[in-house]
Structure 1
Amino acid sequence: MAFALLAVLSSFLLSQVAAHGGVTSYTIGGTTFAGWQPYNDPSSQSSIERPYSSYDPILSPTDAKISCNNNGQASAKQLTTSVAAGTAITAHWRHGPVMVYMAKCSGSCTSSNSNSLKWFKIAETGLISGTLGNGKWGTGQVMDTLAYTATVPSSLAPGEYLIRHELLALHQANTPQFYPECAQLTITGSGTKTPSGTYLASFPGAYSMSDPGVNVNIYSADANSITSYKVPGPPVWNGQ
């Protein structure tokens, strides 16, 4: 069963890319939705994407802003769009790669603080082949098009959800750079399942600086002989 959703759903390593960036738009069922513009007047914007103020990275996995790159709240003119479970969604980036999570809101997502939600991962791409120091990473899949497509699990129960897209840049030795952003979706369909247990995580809380997928030096003497990489966070939930 397909489990990927959104071009920004999962943790990707940037071994070559040092630029900053964020999600600029989403393509859902052939319709394009504009993303948030962090340097424009927030009072004049309406978007399905949650507001954030800068393309600059978050440098600590315990930063209070790591859930959605803001204080956890919706914008004053927050939008939500309906998406049928099983729909492919593409997130478009100005720079770099991603990791994908979703979180079910207990009621209205607009009134939900993202820091209080439980998140589950629906897609990830880490080291595909080669070594830590000289390998093919998830970022290579998106650099040509600046997009990464995944699919909402078709078994997911209907309701209001946040979708969280995250870049994890590892191009600076032992100094990870997190680029998380969120959008609001209303999932429709006949699904009945939601993940539980080890599939759920909180932000902050899902990562620590001691995680092997976070505390990485791709320039170390051993990096060119290491052929495995563990993407941080919980395992991917595929809808089962």
Structure 2
Amino acid sequence: MPVTTASLLTLLGAFVTTTLGHGYVTEYVADGAKEPGFLLQYYYDKKNGMSVPPLAAWYAENLDSGFVAPDAYQTADINCHKNSAPGSLTTTVKAGAKVTFQWGTAAGGAWPHPYGPIIDYIAACDGDCSKADKTKLKWVKIQATGIDAATKQWASAKLIADNNSWTTTIPASIAPGNYVLRHEIIALHGGGSLNGAQNYPQCFNIAITGSGTAKPAGTLGTALYKNTDPGIHYSPYGTNTDYPMPGPALFTG
């Protein structure tokens, strides 16, 4: 069978997966206030009996800075990463304000995967988000960026160009309350294979303030994606101008 350019690029993407470090949110700025993310060292500090700072960022065991694969979409891990648990604190952010996420990698370099969308969700907590049950959270998509048809630049490439950072806006119409903010990169360098996409969900407890009234219905994490979705089982190589964004409809209120 002849080897095509597309197949070579897919193989290269798979090779890159094994040779470059993956990443996580090291810190974020919510409505102007800088907050720490859940650092990988905190897992080992906790296991060794050392103190770990209280955080609004969720605990997760992505110890290799790794990802959630498409064949795990129907497990609880897709919500906020592997074996995730709520943070003990909550960050206050006004409806209509911006949140900027700073990504880092285990190797300390730039985010290594320039192909893929970035999506943000919120889910209302039934009370204190530190006691949230991730399997019952219903996610509302508030931002989704794929590929710019004019420049051919993916959201992930824009993140890299912006010093590994991404900014999203909390919709001004959202009703006040406690929410989990879910920020996610979907890396597609291996997406030409059925289970080759890589999801990097990161979660944070936020208290939204303001005078909004919108309380949109959400989607359970295990119903967000399927491994056969056109935007998941997707090769980013070649001419791509109309990317089919995965997940539920975007909230535009």
Q: Output the TM-score relative to the length of structure 2.
A: 0.78
User: Any gaps of 5 or more consecutive residues in structure 2?
Assistant: 1-12, 105-110
**Higher-helix-fraction structure:** 2
SS at match of 1:39: helix
| Residues 118-137 of structure 1 mapped to structure 2, 5 A cutoff | 118-129=138-149, 135-137=152-154
2:173 corresponds to which letter in structure 1? S
Aligned to 1:23: 25
| Residues 148-167 of structure 1 mapped to structure 2, 5 A cutoff | 148-167=166-185
1:111 corresponds to which letter in structure 2? K
Aligned to 2:38: 36
Aligned to 1:193: 214
Cα RMSD of the aligned pairs, angstroms, is 2.2
Aligned to 1:117: 137
Separation in structure 1 between the aligned mates of residue 216 and residue 84 of structure 2, nearest angstrom: 22
| Conserved? CA contact 1:121–1:237, under 8 Å | yes
173-182 or 64-73, larger mean C-alpha shift: 64-73
Separation in structure 2 between the aligned mates of residue 29 and residue 206 of structure 1, nearest angstrom: 27
SS at match of 2:79: coil
Separation in structure 2 between the aligned mates of residue 209 and residue 150 of structure 1, nearest angstrom: 26
2:28 corresponds to which letter in structure 1? Y
| Conserved? CA contact 1:39–1:53, under 8 Å | no
| Bigger RCO of structures 1 and 2 (CA < 8 A, at least 6 apart) | 1
User: Any gaps of 5 or more consecutive residues in structure 1?
Assistant: 1-14
Percent sequence identity over aligned pairs = 34
**Pair 1:80-2:90 in alignment:** yes
| Residues 69-108 of structure 1 mapped to structure 2, 5 A cutoff | 69-75=81-87, 78-94=88-104, 95=111, 98-108=118-128
Count of residue pairs the alignment pairs up? 213
| Conserved? CA contact 2:176–2:207, under 8 Å | yes
Aligned to 1:9: none
Q: 1:58 aligns with which of 63, 68, 75?
A: 68
SS at match of 1:67: helix
1:163 corresponds to which letter in structure 2? L
| Conserved? CA contact 2:100–2:167, under 8 Å | yes
Separation in structure 1 between the aligned mates of residue 187 and residue 239 of structure 2, nearest angstrom: 20
